[in-house]
Amino acid sequence: MPDRLAIFIDGANLHATTRALHVDLDFSKLRERFAAQGRLVRALYYTAVVEGEEFSPVKPLIDWLDYNGFSVVTKPARRFIDADGRSRIKGNMDMEMAVDLLDLAPRLDHVVLFTGDGDFRRVVEAVQAKGVRVTVVSTLKSQPPQIADELRRQADVFIDLADLLPDVARRAAGSVALPPRESGALGCSLPVVQPGSSASRFRAWRRLAMRRSNGVFTPSERRGAMWVVVGCVIVASLGAAADRFISPSLGWYAQTGVGQTLDGVIEAQPLG
C-alpha cells in the first residue's frame, strides 16, 4: 500500500532559499515529483499577506496555487515601527504549520517539509514520535546555508533543494510557455515564439500589462505598459526576426519602473 504523504511548504523560507540559489521553482513539477512517491493527501503552502496593498507580488502565485492542487494557508501580515522609526512587516506562519503538522500526523506515513527553520526541530520530533517519517528540503549549497543544523539532524531524510533542481526548476526567469497562437489585445494574431526569447518575454509583459495596468500603475507606468502593447504589434509583424530588433530595447525597458514591476509578477506567477 503506498505511503500517505503530505507536503508542507514554508513560503517565506522557500522563497529565501530559491533566491539564495538564484532559481525559480515549477510548483507543478514539484508537486508531481513527490506525489509519485506515495498517495498525496495534501499539499499545503503557508504565507503571510500584506493587506491593503493595491498590488501584491505574491497574490498571483497564491491564486495559481489555489487552482493547481495546493491548499494555501494565509494570514494578514502586521506592520509595525521598529526602534529606528522604520516601518517593518511581520508575518510568521510557524504556529499554523506546526498545528497542521500535528493535526494531520495520525493520518500520514510521510511528511515532506520545505523549510530550513530550526524552530521546527521540536515539531518534527513530535511528528516522528507518532510514527511518521519526515523529509526536510532546504539547502546547504548557498552562502550562507539555509538549513539549520539541528533541523537537518532531526529529519529522517534531508534533501538539498539544489539536487532537485533538474526535476523541479522552472525555465530561465521570464521564459513562458504559451499556446501556439493567441489574439492580442489589438486584434493581432501573434506568431509562434520560442520560450525565453525576447519575443516570448514581450508577450508575457504585454499580457500582464493589459491585465494589471488599470488602477495599478501610475500614469507614467501605464504609458510604459502601452509601449509593451505596441511591442506586440512589432512582434506580430516581424515574427522570428523580432528578437534581433527588440533585444537592444529590452535593456532599457528592464530598467524602467513598469519593467521591474512586471518582471516581479512574471517571477511570482507561472504563466501559460
Q: What is the pLDDT of residue 1?
A: 80
Return the higher-pLDDT residue of 8 and 183.
Answer: 8
Q: What are the distances in angstroms from CA 85 to CA 39, 50, 70, 77, 78?
A: 50, 19, 38, 18, 15
In the listed set 168, 183, 210, which residue is the last one of a domain according to the structure?
Answer: 168
Verify that 57 and 148 share a domain, yes or no. Answer: yes
Encode pLDDT of 138-165 as tens digits: 999 999 999 999 999 999 999 999 999 9
Single-letter amino acid, residue 246:
I
Verify that 151 and 68 share a domain, yes or no. Answer: yes
Q: What is the pLDDT of residue 43?
A: 97
| pTM for the whole structure | 0.62
Q: What is the pLDDT of residue 85?
A: 82
Question: How many domains are contained in the chain?
Answer: 2
Q: What is the pLDDT of residue 220?
A: 52
Average pLDDT over residues 195-204: 48
* Structural domain harbouring 227: 198-268
Q: What is the pLDDT of residue 71?
A: 95
**268 confidence band (pLDDT: 50, 70, 90):** very low
Encode pLDDT of 47-96 as tens digits: 988 877 767 778 889 999 999 999 999 988 877 787 888 877 777 899 99
Task: Work out the mean pLDDT of the chain and round it to a whole number.
Answer: 75
The answer for residues whose C-beta is within 8 angstroms of residue 2's C-beta and 6 or more apart is 38, 39
Verify that 156 and 238 share a domain, yes or no. Answer: no
Q: What is the pLDDT of residue 170?
A: 87
Per-residue pLDDT at 38 exceeds 90: yes
Instruction: Confirm whether 216 is domain-assigned.
Output: yes
Instruction: Confirm whether 203 is domain-assigned.
Output: yes
Verify that 109 and 237 share a domain, yes or no. Answer: no
User: Where does 139-218 have alpha helices with state H?
Assistant: 149-154, 161-168, 198-212
Q: What is the pLDDT of residue 219?
A: 52
Verify that 84 and 209 share a domain, yes or no. Answer: no
**177 confidence band (pLDDT: 50, 70, 90):** very low
Q: What is the pLDDT of residue 132?
A: 97
Verify that 160 and 211 share a domain, yes or no. Answer: no
Q: What is the pLDDT of residue 232?
A: 53
Q: What is the pLDDT of residue 263?
A: 39
List strand residue ranges (DSSP E) for the chain, in order: 4-10, 39-49, 71-76, 78-81, 87-90, 110-114, 133-138, 157-160
Give the CATH number, domain containing residue 11.
3.40.50.1010
Per-residue pLDDT at 196 exceeds 90: no
Encode pLDDT of 13-36 as tens digits: 999 999 999 999 999 999 999 999
Verify that 51 and 130 share a domain, yes or no. Answer: yes
In the listed set 117, 150, 168, which residue is the last one of a domain according to the structure?
Answer: 168
Encode pLDDT of 114-140 as tens digits: 999 999 999 999 999 999 999 999 999
Give the total residue count for the chain: 272
Verify that 19 and 113 share a domain, yes or no. Answer: yes
Return the higher-pLDDT residue of 259 and 148.
Answer: 148
> Half-sphere exposure of 38 toward its Cβ, with a 13 Å CA cutoff?
17
Verify that 203 and 163 share a domain, yes or no. Answer: no
Please give the share of the chain, as a percent, with pLDDT higher than 70. Answer: 61
